[in-house]
A and B are shown apart, each in its own frame.
Chain A
Amino acid sequence: MTLPRDLTDISIQITNVTKVFPKMEKPALNNINASIRQGIITGLVGPDGAGKTTLIRLIAGLFLPTQGTIHVMGLNTQTNSVSLQNITGYMPQKFGLYEDLTVIENLDLYAKLHRLTGKKKDDGFERMLTFTTLKPFIHRLAGNLSGGMKQKLGLACALLGRPRILLLDEPSVGVDPLSRRELWKMIQELTHQGMTVLWSTSYLDEGDKCEEVILLNEGKLLFYGPPKNLTKQVQGRVFQVHVPLKERRMALKQLLKLPEVIDGVIQGSEIRLVCSSQPFSFSPDPQWKPVTPRFEDAFVDILGGSSKEDSILVEHISSKEENSVPPIKAQNLTKYFGDFRAAFDISFTIQRGEIFGLLGPNGAGKSTIFKMLCGLLQPTKGRARVSGFDLKTASSEARERIGYMAQKFSLYEDLSVKQNLDFFSGVYGLTRTQRNERVHLMTRIFGLHPYLNENAGLLPLGFKQRLALACAVMHEPDVLFLDEPTSGVDPLTRREFWSHINGMANKGVTIMVTTHFMEEAEYCDHIALIYNGLNIAIGTPDDLKKKAKTELLPNPTLEDAFITLIERSDHGENL
């Protein structure tokens, strides 16, 4: 097949592709056309269930399209699947690393799969280990690597066969900003050598950095082209409003009520607003400062804006009374696992109605601190108190005042949604009438009705998270622990979650949250930045940004602050 001259730099040609799975009402992909160019990173973005993974698998030749064709470097995925394997590297969401094997043993295994031997293999290992900076860890078990290092190892394995096309399915989920940036740089380097990269992601700031973006929603192609073409569409419609820190949650709620506002998020002490493109008879408040749109603004805009409804949950939560005992207090918390110092001398106090964020790279000790506060781990030294109690030994009545949502979906997958709700309402000591009423309410608030009798394990990710949140809050806790509550969910669902969380905070619920999303961290009143088991910075999001401010970086984002502060800590600077 000969391609027209101007198309020679196209490496993946997708023509009228439709994919229908049996037993599904709607096609997973509906008439997709795209020409992915060689030597650049093309982003694949969209909410959950948009069809991103399906498209990647079609390109990798793992599925065949129901209709249409895909050519990869001129090879038809339907007829040339064997040659296709030699030129593509595919890294699925859960890369098949063997956790009980060491880094080098994993590489060995993949070398064998690619039939690499002798000098070729040694050169390949050398190249990959240098490239991924995994050399010092070659004898460590893959299971003991941090999230970021696991992804690097997965990448190294996928790259061993020297592919010309690299397909990455959400490589940055569960990876901290620092490792994410490193991963991004590595991939960019590969594109300079001519590799074609398709990078699917739910982090929209990554969409901004891609040269081209494919935006999918419910199997349909909404946009394809350079991201700036998309952000151009919201040019002049994005504003920042400065509000006093204490009032920002109420202010956001008020602003979202304006008919012309289609999206609003909190960014430290600013509120970021996107306005509708419909002509309105309004002139923006002079206090609204126009800002350069980001990809996420345009993304929410093209999906029709975020939900503007108030959280119904909040209407049904009674206000928490003032109390002289601080809801959460960590005093010199220290934890050693053998010789390993997981957390050292961590102290902070969280006030009633506050949202407190624990941030830090993978393996920094966030989870250890979180678990000590919840009573799941015994501190080696120091005290963790929640409403004045040590949760490890607290009475049932004291623990009834706590809500907990784990990082990984950890409800009973074999039980139906209704049975899960029943179970947690029973365990949290609600009476029979309360139970029925609460289960009914949670079903309504989180839109669980269509799934009530379905096994929880079979829900779409967004609904799993909703169910987990429902189970954590149905007994109206005073203190709520959320471990990466929106990991992997799309921006619209994340906004819905935060409208609940913000509303609860307004009612006086105290919330502790760990996260990798800087956007999520922006909602927090205070953040503790944890690194190497130490609390290296604590303050409001704006405080942290201020700390990271330099001449080179006069206006750092929270992510910049995160990275700068960690790098400074590495260089031993006193913060």
Chain B
Amino acid sequence: MKLGSSLQKMIRSWSRINSLVIKEVLAVWRDKKSRVMLIAPPLIQLIILSHAATLEVNNISIGVYNQDSGWYSHEFIQRIKGSPYFSHVYQYNNPKDVERAINIQEVIATLQFQPHFSRLIAAGQSAQLQIILDGRKSNASQIVLGYLNIILQNFNLDILRNNGLEVPEPVPLKFRSFFNPNLDYIYFTVPSLVAILSMLLALMVTAMSVSRERENGTFDQLLVSPLQPWQILIGKMIPAMIISIAESTLLMVVALYLFKIPFRGSFVLLYASMIVFLFSIVGIGLFISSISRTQQQSILGSFVFMTPMMLLSGYATPIENMPDWLQPFTNLLPIKHFFIVIKGIFLKDITALEVFNNTWPVALIAGFTLSLAGWMFRKRLE
């Protein structure tokens, strides 16, 4: 008898939460603006950002100040033009123009061939070639220098061979990339973007959920209702999870079928890890929502979390390059761990143990953010 009544109580309690979940999903779905917001921007962002956030250096413009008029400098310039990386080669006739071209970023680097460049080489002497790089774009200019170095290396070898010297290449470089044989940057960016966009959405949906009710005055109505605070919290959490899992699935479908990113691992492991990851984000979102009075504050609050999470996640810059004191803090970011999991599962079928090793920290963070949200939610009720 006792058991029966407590079971009944539980059923009633879940039926209440169920009503709230249905209401939340309907509220997001029926509002045309929020419906469009859920689908269009993430898809557009995935498609555009995956191309824009390229890590390769392409379409390079380079300047040439040629004080030589012979065959060798001409040949060198032709080799640059022949490379797929360089799209424009500008000719300059004096150092002033070179300076100006770098200044206004017309070119990222310039080559200066000294006078008699060709004659010196033909005479078997060393000739000088000066390369000026735009130090403001330090990464890109280093890569450009790398390209130029390879061209120069081949150029030197060919001269030696033409001069009848049969020099074997001391250490010929041959490399292969595992998991991404063609070094297609898109293999790297798309799974990362799936994680980032899912996170952004989960955060926004939850961050607005309580504050929207506060702003519209419906929150009091909920508090007066038989729903207990913990039931409201669960009722806010479940729909946010449903929406973000659906969103992640949508993005993954696009990644697999539009971008044809290989998927080598296990879907079960990926979803398990993703659910833990999204819980941790939903916890942050609910925390933001609990302290915000208006939706505007929620949005601002989300940005406070988003920016460091993006910059320290290892997506834009390798964590290994950050200062030593900063690196341990990146472990507090759920997305850092999830990046390892999602890229690992997509590209190299990492083991369940590896997934677990990179998921339990997220579970700890989720436990913390959700408890924090619950605590803040109750605290703010007064």
Contacts and interface: CB of A to CB of B under 8 A. Distances in A.
Interface of A: 371, 374-378, 391, 396-397, 399-400, 402, 404, 406, 408-416, 419, 422-424, 426-429, 455, 481
B224 A412 contact: no
Query: Which among A371, A396, A397, A455 has the greatest number of chain B C-beta atoms within 10 A?
Result: A396
Contacts of A419: 23, 26, 30
Contacts of B222: 427
Nearest to B19: A426
Contact of A399 (B13, B19, B224): B224
A450 B19 CA distance: 24
Contacts of A396: 12-13, 16, 226-228, 231
A481 B221 CA distance: 11
A376 B220 contact: yes
B16 A378 contact: no
Given A412-B218, A415-B23, A423-B20, 18 more contacts: A374-B224, A376-B224, A377-B382, A378-B382, A396-B12, A396-B13, A396-B226, A396-B227, A396-B228, A400-B226, A402-B224, A406-B220, A410-B216, A412-B23, A414-B30, A426-B19, A427-B226, A427-B227
B272 interface: no
Interface string B203-239: 0000000000000111011111111100100000000
B324 interface: no
- Interface size range of chain B in the complex: 20 to 34
A191 to B, nearest CB: 37
A391 B227 CA distance: 12
Interface string B25-36: 011001100000
B141 interface: no
B27 A412 contact: yes
A410 B220 contact: yes
Contacts of A422: 19, 22
Nearest to A374: B224
Nearest to A394: B226
B18 interface: yes
**Nearest 4 CB-CB pairs, A to B?**
A426-B19, A396-B226, A410-B217, A404-B224
Given A391-B224, A396-B228, A404-B221, A414 B19 contact: no
B169 to A, nearest CB: 70
Given A406-B217, A408-B217, A410-B221, A426 B226 contact: no
Interface of B: 12-13, 15-16, 18-20, 22-23, 26-27, 30-31, 216-218, 220-228, 231, 382
Contact of B18 (A410, A412, A426, A428): A426
A397 B226 contact: yes
Contacts of A374: 220, 224
Most buried by B among A391, A397, A408, A414: A414
A52 B31 CA distance: 30
Nearest to B23: A423
Contact of B26 (A376, A402, A415, A429): A415
Given A374-B224, A397-B226, A427 B30 contact: no
A455 B27 CA distance: 11
A206 B48 CA distance: 62
7 contacts: A376-B224, A396-B227, A399-B224, A399-B226, A409-B217, A426-B22, A429-B12
Contacts of B228: 396
Contacts of B225: 399, 404, 424, 427-428
B224 A375 contact: yes
Contacts of A375: 223-224
Contacts of A411: 218, 221
A426 B16 contact: yes
A573 to B, nearest CB: 36
B226 A429 contact: yes
A220 B22 CA distance: 43
B26 to A, nearest CB: 6
Contacts of A413: 216
B22 A423 contact: yes
A419 B218 CA distance: 15
Nearest to B15: A426
A94 B235 CA distance: 34
- Most A Cβ at <10 Å: residue of B13, B20, B223, B227: B223
Contacts of B216: 410, 412-413
A427 B19 contact: yes
A316 B223 CA distance: 27
Contacts of A404: 220-221, 224-225
Nearest to A410: B217
B217 A414 contact: no
A171 to B, nearest CB: 23
Nearest to A425: B19
A252 B223 CA distance: 36
B232 to A, nearest CB: 10
A414 B224 contact: no
Contacts of B15: 426, 429
B229 to A, nearest CB: 10
Contacts of A402: 224
Contacts of A391: 224
Contact of B27 (A408, A414, A427, A481): A414
Contacts of B220: 371, 374, 376, 404, 406, 410
B33 to A, nearest CB: 10
B30 A455 contact: yes
Contacts of A427: 16, 19-20, 222, 225-227
A427 B231 CA distance: 11
A259 B26 CA distance: 48
A477 to B, nearest CB: 11
Contacts of A426: 15-16, 18-19, 22
Contact of A414 (B20, B31, B221, B231): B31
Contacts of B26: 414-415, 419
A376 B382 CA distance: 8
A235 B5 CA distance: 64
Contacts of B18: 426
Q: Considering residues B27, B30, B220, B224, which has the most beta carbons from chain A within 10 angstroms of its beta carbon?
A: B224
Nearest to A403: B224
A544 B382 CA distance: 35
Nearest to B29: A414
Contacts of B218: 410-412
A490 to B, nearest CB: 23
Nearest to B28: A414
A300 to B, nearest CB: 31
Contacts of B382: 377-378
A367 to B, nearest CB: 11
B295 to A, nearest CB: 13
B193 to A, nearest CB: 30
Most chain A CB within a 10 A radius of its CB, from B19, B20, B31: B19
A415 B224 contact: no
A428 B22 contact: no
A250 B216 CA distance: 38
Given A378-B382, A414-B27, A415-B27, A423 B19 contact: yes
A238 to B, nearest CB: 39
Nearest to A409: B217
B216 to A, nearest CB: 7
Contacts of A455: 30
A102 B16 CA distance: 44
